[in-house]
Amino acid sequence: MDKLTNNRLSEQLQARFAERIKNTSEPYGLYTIEVTKEDILEVLEYLKTDPQLQFNYLTDITAVHYPEQALSIAVVYHLHSLVNNLRIRIKVYIDGNYPAIPTATVLWNGANWMERETYDFFGVQFIGHPDLRRILNVDDMEAFPMRKEFPLEDPNRVDKKDYFFGR
């Protein structure tokens, strides 16, 4: 079997998913694809279980907030094939007003805390998650602090007033 490269991975994914794979790129050598939330579980399962690919290690799940876009939340998955020493990034853009996507805990138990953290900071609802609740912030927090509409500082703080610094 030939060594798995980004080009071979791209060919295999295009052959399997054709037009469902969008916006492929390779920033800094990291093969990156975009899929829809309807296709994400099928793509993840294929990458994990295909005997040639073996992307069996889920490195990270996170999100990015793009408030200027219609689909303003990007859920980002990073997978690593330890056998082939190759990585892939998968992006899924979803509606920021109701950010919901199927859970990856059905494929990786390790997705549990990653999805809880993404929920905690971005408000992404992982449908089917066994215990989706805040993991790092206080339970009664109403905002999602990594979204861009969240203020960087509390406007009521007094320790940052100019008169404390002789200004």
Contact by Cβ (8 Å): 110, 130: no
What is the CA 48 to chain-centroid distance, rounded? 16
Whole-structure pTM value: 0.89
pLDDT tens digits for range 117-163: 999 999 999 999 999 999 999 998 888 989 988 766 666 666 666 76
Give the pLDDT confidence score for residue 2 in this predicted structure: 75
Which CATH number belongs to the domain containing residue 111 in this structure? 3.30.460.80
Q: Would you say residue 149 lies in a domain? A: no
pLDDT tens digits for range 95-122: 999 999 999 999 999 999 999 999 999 9
Q: Would you say residue 124 lies in a domain? A: yes
Q: Would you say residue 139 lies in a domain? A: yes
* Amino acid in position 101: I
Domain tally, the chain: 1
pLDDT tens digits for range 13-69: 999 999 999 999 999 999 999 999 999 999 999 999 999 999 999 999 999 999 999
Q: Would you say residue 165 lies in a domain? A: no
Give the pLDDT confidence score for residue 154 in this predicted structure: 66
Q: Would you say residue 15 lies in a domain? A: yes
Alpha carbons within 13 A on the beta-carbon side of 144: 22
Give the pLDDT confidence score for residue 158 in this predicted structure: 67
Q: Would you say residue 26 lies in a domain? A: yes
Range of the domain at 75: 6-143
Share of the chain above pLDDT 90, in %: 80
Q: Would you say residue 155 lies in a domain? A: no
Alpha carbons within 13 A on the beta-carbon side of 160: 5
Give the pLDDT confidence score for residue 98 in this predicted structure: 94
Q: Would you say residue 163 lies in a domain? A: no
